Each structure stands twice: as C-alpha cells, then as structure tokens.
Structure 1
Amino acid sequence: MSTTHVTDDSSSEESVGRRSSPDQNGRTSRNHFRKSSIPLAPPFMVSAPGKVIVYGEHAVVHGKPAMAAAISLRSYLHVHTLTKSSRTVSLFFPDISLSHTWSIDALPWSTFQHPSKKRNYYDLVTALDHELVASLKPHTDAVSPDYPPHERRIHAHTATAFLYLFLSLGSPRSHSCIYSLRSAIPPGAGLGSSASVTVCLATALLLQAHALSGPHPDQPAPESATQLERINRWAFVGECCIHGNPSGIDNTVSTQGKAAVFQRTDYARPPSVRMLRRFPSLPLLLVNTMQVRSTATEVAKVARLREGHPEIADGVLEAIGRVTGSAERVIGRAEEDGAEGVSEGTIRHLGELMGINHGLLVALGVSHPKLERLRALVEQAGVGWTKLTGAGGGGCAITLLDPKGCGMDHSERETKGSEIDVPLMEKGPKMLENGVGGLTQLQRDLEAEGFEKFETILGGDGVGVLYPAVLHNGSEESQEGGEEIDQEKFLSVQGRDGVEKLVGVLGPGRGVREGWRFWTV
C-alpha cells in the first residue's frame, strides 16, 4: 500500500506528520499520529445506512414497483479539520485500501467556479456535468498508481465522487480536512454500500458549507424534508460518479431511512418515489451466500425469458409488482391504525409476501443453489420467511424473523393485545446470538455452509450526525462528559465489528446511542 503524508504547515506548533495510511483492517501504528495544532472546528461524524430490496427485484426494471428499506448496517465518516495554514484535503478509506491527499490550491476550481458551471448548494441537481468530471481526471489518475487495474478503477470512481462534491460545495478558501471512511456494509453485495458513502460525504460537505441547520429535535418537518432532499440530490450526483446511471433508490433510502416504493415507467422521466416514513422496525437476518454474482447477467436472463416467452414472463413480472403493492397496502393500514407496535398478523403477512416474491423470482431463473440451500435451512429451523434480495444469482438473502418461530413466549414478547413493542422488535436480531428457539441450529448450519450472517434491523433511521464526535457509552469515560472519537481511534479500530462497537449508531441495547441525531419528517 502506498504511503500518504499529511502535513500541517504550522512551524510553531505540533503538526500532523508522518501519517501513514491504515491497512485493510484499519490498523495504524500509534506513533504515526500526532495531534494537530488548534483545529478550526471540532471533529464530527456522519453515518448513513445501507439498504435491501424487500420486494420487486427485476420487475422494477420493467416498470413495476419495488420496495426498498434501510438496514442497520451503516457507513461512518469522520471529519477532522486541520489548521488554517494547512492547504491539503485527504481521503482515507481503509476498507478498500484507498488513501490519498490533494493540494487544495491545485484542484480545478476555475472550472467548477465558472459562471456557466457553478452550482449553489440549494440547487436541486439531477445530473453530472461531464466537463467537470473531465477536469478531475488528472487528479484522480494520480490515485493508487501501483494498484491492480480493478482496484484502481474502484479508487478512481470513489475519488471522483469525493472531489466532485468537494469542489461543487466548497470554494478555493475551503479549510484543510481529513475525511476518514469506515463501513459495516459488505461492498459489492447489492446492499447500497456506495450510496451510503456518498450520502455521508454529501452531508458532511453541506454541513461544512453551512447549508444544513439540523438535525435537531424541534426542527420543523418542512425544513427537515428540504434538507433531506438537498442531501439526497447531491448524494445522487456522487452515485453518478461511481455508477454512471444509477436508479436513485439507493441514495434515497440511505438518506431518508425507513422504506420507499420506487417505480419507473418512463426512463425519459424521473422515477416515482413514495416514502414509507412509518415503516416499522423489524428484526432481519441478512445472509451473504458469498457466491459472486453479476447484476447485468441476471437482468439479461430475464430479458431473454421475456423475448422467448413474453406472455408468461410478463405475467410473472406483473405478479411481482402486485406483491409490492400488497405489501405497501399492509404497511399503509398499519400506519393508519397508529399503533405503537407491530401486529403479529402484519409480520406474517409481510413474511408470506416475501416467500411468494422469492418463488416468482425462481420462476424467472434468477435464484441459485446456494440461495435455495439457505431457504431450506431457514424453513427447517422454522424461524421466518426468506427471499433473495437484489439481482440474485448468488449474493444475499434476507429473512424476516418470526417471533413465534424464534421461541419467544407471551411474556418475552411483552405484548399489548396482539401487538409487539417496536423496541423489543429492535432486539430481535440478538435472538440469533443468544441461540433462542430454532436459531441455535440455524447458527451452526450457516457457519457450516460458509455463509456470512448479519443480524440487522429493517426500516431504521436514515442519515445521522454526531457533532461533536463524542459518544456517551455508559462507560466511566461517559460519566466525565463522553468518549471522544478522534481520527486515530477511528482508523485504528479493526473490522466491521470494531467500527460498530466504537461508533455504531445502535448501542448494546440496540437503541440509538446518545449523541447521534437524525433528520425526521
């Protein structure tokens, strides 16, 4: 891995020097970090969730609705401002081995600031300016020169997204900063990892541009909605830098949280997006089969099936669209009821629809033997309802956990009539860890098959901010004002579990840790 040197030009005070890039696990030797001289602002953090497609895969490509929801696996961005005399901007992303520093003064400000190109933070941007992207190429070509072509391509796309947002939302007078990213979302698994990153970057840069006034508890809903849309639009532009022509659903769910129904009937027009802001928090088991898959290959399979058997294939796609519609109506009725909890009937209805959706996807030919093996294991354990999520052909599957099947008795479910408390449901994924009911054997079976499991929550919060970067963890440190999360601590922690333990939005009891705040509508 190449070494990046970030220096503070202040000669009278201790500077940031001899800073080496962290390895893939985020490990960096302690003697590589020194405290910078008085920064212009305290460090802060931003976090945004990944997503899963709950209903509607493949049918959405052909004009039918799909439902996507946020998951509790998240990306985390730490922003450290250097002193006024420093004139560099750095991006550290150890999870993908990316580490680079640019001179702020050498960036193509004249191109981005040109009257015909300049965009204001409040502009509802909808597309990339390809001339601006071209102006960044010399600065992204310099990233990771010694890496293999595939990794260089990933690094270049990520750097392009970062620089495009940095130059669009900043100015030649922007302060020197270090932006450090960590993620608990497996990359390349169809879980919206890149969108989560661009949402974090857009939010941080908008905050630094004083373009966001929240989040805070008494923020008016219209103001919150405007700011979320601002974040979402700029995050979409970042996604365009990475993926070229993204649908926009990933960044929308990552920004807004909860869930959304997405439909595009005319590719010449923007898609229709209906937010489900009261989508319930539900316990979800996310399993990565570790089987590599190609979205393009699976989409092409369905296209060939339509070509050879149009009436049958279109009937299956129509049925998948109806599954999504049925799920939206069930959730809508639950919202209208205004109940604090989630009824067992609602959970069962949503779970059964997941099973139907998977069966229809099997009919389209986009499942895989490993996905079917996983479904068989869950069915044998009797703990919930499973379907593939995303393109299929491998990749990930989701299981909505059934409180009855997981062995929770009446008292454990803390029922109010037939409703299950939402806070208890948020603890649902811990049932796997604690070996409740049929989950004990399922845990062993998943390990034996070589599957990677994640206990998550479906339908959680969207983008959040920790300002300043101080967490109240219930530890001795928190009794003295909280645990400060500095750059060294953030980059040095190992692995996804280490990141979640250090700065995760959800704490030990699965509730939101004190300090994190979210825009809500």
Structure 2
Amino acid sequence: MNGTPRLNGVNGHPKDNRSHSPNMSRKSSSPMAPAFMVSAPGKVIVFGEHAVVHGKAAMAASISLRSYLLVTTLSKSQRTIQLVFPDVGLDHTWNIDDLPWHVFTKLAQRPRYYDMVTSLDPELVQAMQPHIDAVSTHLTGDTRRIHQNAASSFLYLFLSLNTPTAPACIYTLRSTLPIGAGLGSSASICVCISAALLKQIHVLSGPHHDQPEEEVEQQLERINRWAFVGELCIHGNPSGVDNTVSTRGRAVLFKREDYSKPPNAEPLKNFPELPLLLINTKQPRSTAVEVAKVASLKKKYPGVTRATLDGIDQVTMSAYTLITSENFDPSSEQNIEYLGDLFRINHGLLVSLGVSHPKLEHIREIVDYADIGWTKLTGAGGGGCAITLLKRNVDEAALRDLQEKIEAAGFEEHKTTLGGSGVGILYPAVLHNGTNEEGGEEIDQQKFLNAKGPEDIDALVGVGLLERRPEWKFWQ
C-alpha cells in the first residue's frame, strides 16, 4: 500500500473497532459475510420536460426497470475488489492495498458517511486517475468511457466510505435498463453502489416493517447523498433528480431556479403505481442540442415560447394537484383519463417547441391507432424514449398486436410500471423462486451471470414486474 491509512475508523464511524493497518491480519474467527443484493429503479420524466430548464416544475417517477448489484465477499486471504458488469463488458480488478489511501492523511476535512458532499475532492480524483486509466485499456471511444465512468463512480465511493482493511469482494451488476436512453441508468447504478457500501460498513439497518419513519428517512437520505457523489463522478454537474427518484421510488416534483444549487425536490409518496409501456426509438439524441433548440426559439419568439413553457408548467401542476388531493383514487377510470389527457397535451406542447422526432411521432401514431392509451416523449426528446400510460382493462390481444407493430417498425418495447418502489435489499441473496431447495435458492454469481437478458434477470431476482417477492425489503 502507498502511504499511511486513515486513523479515524470508517470516516469516524461509531462501533467500528477494526484495525486500520493494512498489514495486520483480520480475525480468522470472523465468518465471511453472506452474499447480498441491492436494487434500484430507473426513472422517466412524466411531465415538465424543457420547462424545467427555464425555472418551471417537472415531475419524475420511478419505473420497474432496475439495476441489481450482487455483493460477494471473498475469503480473508484475498486482497482484491472486482467489478463485473457483463451487460456492458466491464470486468476489472484492483488490489485493495495498492489504492491511494494515503490521500486521507492529508485532508483536514475528511467526509463522514453522514456528510453532505456537494463537490468532488480534486486531490482524491487525481490520486485515483492512474487506477481509472488502467480500466479497459483494450477498448476505445464510448465503450471505454462508460467503463471508466462506472469505475470512477465506484472507486470514489469505495475509498470515501471504506478503510484499507475493507474485505475483498466481487461486485456484479446486471440491469434491465437500456443505457443512454434518458432513463437514469447511471443514477440507478450509483444508488446500488451507495447502498451496498453503506450496508457493508454497517450504517444501514433494516429495512423492516416497523422501522421508525425518521430512521427510514435518515437512511434513505444517506444512500441518496452518496449516490449523488457517484453521479458527480460521471456527469460533473448532475441535477440530483435521477438519484433522488431512484433512491426513494414513487415520484418527485422538482424545480431548479438556481443552477448553483441542487433542485428543490418534493417526494410524492401517494404517486400511484400505473401500467406503462416504454418504447425506445433507439435514435441517439443529445440533451444539449435539444435544450439549445428551445433556448433559440425563446430568443426568436420570446412571448410565444414563454406561453408554451407556462402551458407545460400548468400541465405539471394539474397532475400534481390531482395526485396530492385527498380524494385521488388511482383505480378511478376518470382519474386515469385525466392523467392521460395531460400526457397528450404535454406532448403536443413539446412538439411545438421542436423537440420531438419523426420516430417519436411514428410511435405515437401506432399507439393512437391501437387506442390503448396516451403517449408522450420523455426526457430531452429528439429521439430517446416515449411512454404510454395504458387505459384500464386493455385487451391482451391488442397489446400483443401493438408489440408486433412496434417491433416491426424497429423500436424496442418494455412493459413496465410507473411509480414503484425505490432502493431495496435482498439480505442474504436467497429467494424461494418456487424451488424445493431447503431454505430457498441462493443467488450466487454464476446463476446471476447466466441470466441471458432482462426477462431472465427478472425471472431470477426481479423486484416487482413479474411477481412481488417478499424476501426483498424496502426503506419506505
């Protein structure tokens, strides 16, 4: 190991009496921790795209497409941590003793696990760089960038929350979320990493059904804060919305009037869980390009553009008023239709701002012709994804016919739900899965890696789309 390890335990964690000398052997009598798994959802913007850039409110909600992180503790003789992210082809191992722990002897103010960290420490980032440069050296371009972003996010959190005596582990990540489609995949991964590392240093208890509300809130806030730090490593100046939705689930109403500060985000705990179709155009798009389009239009036609953005804001607040009202009934056909109408209006206003795309319009036409729900683009537009809120009691044959048309047009359809649970944990990584194995089926790394795609991952360990497994626990 280079340098001297830090002296205050796990960032000053109470109840952590481990020795911090990297060369001192760990107690041979302490058993290996069981494998466990954490999971966090992706997100969609439901209302308010582009208007939010101009100081208006927007609403984002979780979806049931998720990331899953399996943590496997190795024997005491091992001194490595390994990232295995097979869906993107990332496989990298670091020697724990070679990591730049020496940085923490120089910092006057070291972050504690309960601190609010709003910027990265440049000295730590610099010390990490050789260890990030060594990731996926055989690759170039976007693929290598994705690998190094993920590695950077993980390593920054690992070093910030751990000590040189951290146990050797394999961190295996699978996801049912499309990457780069504006669905918060990076935030979902950061929430998984944050929750897993905080669990390993014993500062997360539960979750359990009778956990006090203030304790639940405190633990969610800790997970969310460190997930935001992970997002800082990837995006530089993230809004904080994606990790907040991924941590808490359901939905949030958010507004960002001052870009030097995080947005004001109000959790919507009564947001209903609704059936949703997510359709990926697979058309690459640039958020910056689409945002610039609206800014240019506003400069050219200020009055009309402001009126359009005000209209989008009114749509968002109409949905907020309905969902937070005492009489809101998510099973009411009238309420679903109200939200559906708002989908359609919001999309029309975004089209008038020039941020749709022919492929998004083609999807809307196919769904409108099938008459099974209401469709809008989600996110920046210019490609990416569309979401369809389904009408109640839609015929299965009509859904199958729609799926065939969507796929024939070259798009990718995901059946999902809107507004589900946030971060969850499976501790230990054992599910019953309808098997006869005594004590349940242990989800080991090989089974996890053998899952061929999103459907297999859902069938093996999924949180909620196919079935509600009682072994998964959520802070809520």
CA distance in structure 1 between the partners assigned to 2:450 and 2:379 by the alignment: 32
Q: Secondary structure at the match of 1:178?
A: strand
Which of residues 422, 431, 448 is equivalent to 1:490? 448
Whether the 8 Å CA contact 1:72–1:458 is kept in 2: the answer is yes
Q: Secondary structure at the match of 1:101?
A: strand
Which of residues 105, 108, 123 is equivalent to 2:100? 108
Residue equivalent to 1:443: 403
CA distance in structure 2 between the partners assigned to 1:182 and 1:130 by the alignment: 30
Residue equivalent to 1:55: 47
CA distance in structure 2 between the partners assigned to 1:89 and 1:360 by the alignment: 49
Report how far residue 269 of structure 1 moved. Answer: 2.7
Report how far residue 201 of structure 1 moved. Answer: 0.2
Which residue identity does 1:348 align to in structure 2?
A: E
Match status 1:170 vs 2:162: yes
Q: How does 1:178-197 map to 2 (within 5 A)?
A: 178-197=170-189
Report how far residue 403 of structure 1 moved. Answer: 1.1
User: How many aligned positions are there?
Assistant: 448
Structure 2 regions of 5+ residues with no counterpart?
A: 1-29
CA distance in structure 2 between the partners assigned to 1:331 and 1:343 by the alignment: 12
Match status 1:394 vs 2:352: no
Report how far residue 117 of structure 1 moved. Answer: 4.4
Structure 1 regions of 5+ residues with no counterpart?
A: 1-37, 408-433
Residue equivalent to 2:24: none
Residue equivalent to 2:353: 364
Residue equivalent to 2:25: none
Whether the 8 Å CA contact 1:51–1:192 is kept in 2: the answer is yes
Whether the 8 Å CA contact 1:42–1:468 is kept in 2: the answer is yes
Residue equivalent to 2:14: none
Report how far residue 514 of structure 1 moved. Answer: 2.1
Report how far residue 290 of structure 1 moved. Answer: 1.3
Match status 1:350 vs 2:308: no
Residue equivalent to 2:139: 147
CA distance in structure 2 between the partners assigned to 1:381 and 1:235 by the alignment: 40
Residue equivalent to 1:159: 151
Whether the 8 Å CA contact 2:254–2:266 is kept in 1: the answer is yes
Report how far residue 66 of structure 1 moved. Answer: 0.5
Report how far residue 448 of structure 1 moved. Answer: 1.2
Q: Secondary structure at the match of 2:87?
A: helix
* Cα deviation 1:467-492 (Å, max 9, x = unaligned): 00001212323xx2211000111122
CA distance in structure 2 between the partners assigned to 1:276 and 1:323 by the alignment: 16
* Percent identity for Structure 1 against Structure 2: 61
CA distance in structure 1 between the partners assigned to 2:216 and 2:119 by the alignment: 23
Q: Secondary structure at the match of 1:162?
A: helix
Residue equivalent to 1:457: 417
Residues 40/388 of structure 1: CA separation in 2 closer, same or farther (3 Å cut) = same
Report how far residue 507 of structure 1 moved. Answer: 6.1
Residue equivalent to 1:201: 193
CA distance in structure 2 between the partners assigned to 1:62 and 1:507 by the alignment: 35
Whether the 8 Å CA contact 1:258–1:277 is kept in 2: the answer is yes
Report how far residue 39 of structure 1 moved. Answer: 6.2
Deviates more, 1:174-183 or 1:108-117: 108-117
Residue equivalent to 1:424: none
* Cα deviation 1:406-462 (Å, max 9, x = unaligned): 24xxxxxxxxxxxxxxxxxxxxxxxxxx42xx3243122112101100000100000
Q: Secondary structure at the match of 1:322?
A: helix
Whether the 8 Å CA contact 2:252–2:268 is kept in 1: the answer is yes
Q: Secondary structure at the match of 1:95?
A: coil
CA distance in structure 1 between the partners assigned to 2:432 and 2:305 by the alignment: 53
Match status 1:322 vs 2:326: no
Residues 299/507 of structure 1: CA separation in 2 closer, same or farther (3 Å cut) = closer
Whether the 8 Å CA contact 1:288–1:453 is kept in 2: the answer is yes
* Cα deviation 1:88-133 (Å, max 9, x = unaligned): 1111111111110001011011113544242111112222222211
Which residue identity does 1:484 align to in structure 2?
A: E
* Cα deviation 1:323-361 (Å, max 9, x = unaligned): 11110000011xx2375x521111111110010000000
Which residue identity does 1:279 align to in structure 2?
A: F
CA distance in structure 2 between the partners assigned to 1:470 and 1:272 by the alignment: 38
Residue equivalent to 1:219: 211
Q: How does 1:365-384 map to 2 (within 5 A)?
A: 365-384=354-373
Q: Secondary structure at the match of 1:476?
A: coil
Whether the 8 Å CA contact 1:507–1:513 is kept in 2: the answer is no
TM-score by length of 1: 0.84
Whether the 8 Å CA contact 1:50–1:192 is kept in 2: the answer is yes
Report how far residue 160 of structure 1 moved. Answer: 0.7
Whether the 8 Å CA contact 1:286–1:398 is kept in 2: the answer is yes
Residue equivalent to 2:22: none
RMSD: 1.5
Residues 452/397 of structure 1: CA separation in 2 closer, same or farther (3 Å cut) = same
Residue equivalent to 1:501: 459
Residue equivalent to 1:475: 435
